[in-house]
């Protein structure tokens, strides 16, 4: 009996090792493809939020890595792209995290013009429930377009909440947590631009050592 248990244990261990190796191998094969897809998605989003007529210099020439957990929702450094035209900033595309989505973090890009109004918001990545929380994606619902042209009057601006909390933004039937998290994250980005505008250009440049 002891020998049989030992044999079964070895078999299970070998099986687990084989599965781990297979997952690691598959990940190594798909990692570059995933990174390329994420890069392509980011470029599409930047083109929507900071269109070609808003800058005459490459966006990646004016990219900084900003660390600001109170405003960006994470301790990690995230990129901020600035549109420059005739030597003057026209707007920013700021990556941010909504850490309190229903199914975890929601990664956003928030476009803000120099006058403090939103040029738009796009979702880069999320794990929200299909058919409910995934309506934050533009391809699933126009909900995210409600941010266009919005601004903030300060930290206590009552408009920056979903309607069930007294604000101006619609929620989703059966999925209030997701839009609430996105509204909160976008509000914080607008406060960053309003209260700490110097951070958007003084942070370390993308690609530089921090």
Percent of the chain with pLDDT strictly greater than 90: 73
Q: What is the pLDDT of residues 132-186, one digit of tens each?
A: 899 999 999 999 999 999 999 989 999 999 999 999 999 998 899 999 999 999 9
Separation of alpha carbons 161 and 207, rounded Å:
36
Separation of alpha carbons 81 and 63, rounded Å:
5
Residue 38's pLDDT band (cuts 50, 70, 90): low
Interval 60-89 mean pLDDT: 96
Which residue in this structure is represented by tokens 């929200």?
A: 128
| Domain spans, the chain | 50-202
């Amino acid at each position: 009996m002891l020998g049989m248990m030992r044999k079964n244990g070895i078999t299970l261990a070998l099986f687990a090792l084989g599965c781990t190796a297979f997952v690691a191998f598959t990940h190594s094969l798909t990692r570059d493809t995933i990174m390329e897809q994420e890069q392509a998605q980011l470029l599409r989003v930047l083109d929507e939020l900071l269109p070609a007529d808003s800058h005459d210099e490459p966006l990646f020439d004016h990219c900084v890595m900003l660390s600001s957990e109170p405003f960006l929702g994470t301790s990690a450094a995230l990129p901020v792209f600035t549109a420059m035209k005739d030597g003057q900033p026209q707007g920013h595309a700021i990556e941010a995290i909504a850490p309190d989505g229903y199914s975890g973090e929601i990664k956003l890009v928030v476009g803000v013009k120099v006058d403090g109004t939103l040029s738009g918001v796009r979702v880069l990545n999320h794990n929200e429930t299909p058919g409910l929380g995934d309506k934050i994606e533009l391809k699933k619902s126009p909900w995210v377009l409600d941010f266009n042209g919005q601004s903030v009057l300060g930290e206590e601006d009552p408009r920056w909440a979903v309607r069930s909390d007294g604000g101006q933004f619609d929620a989703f039937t059966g999925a209030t947590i997701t839009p609430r998290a996105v509204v909160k994250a976008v509000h914080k980005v607008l406060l960053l631009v309003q209260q700490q505008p110097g951070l958007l250009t003084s942070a370390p440049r993308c690609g530089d050592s921090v």
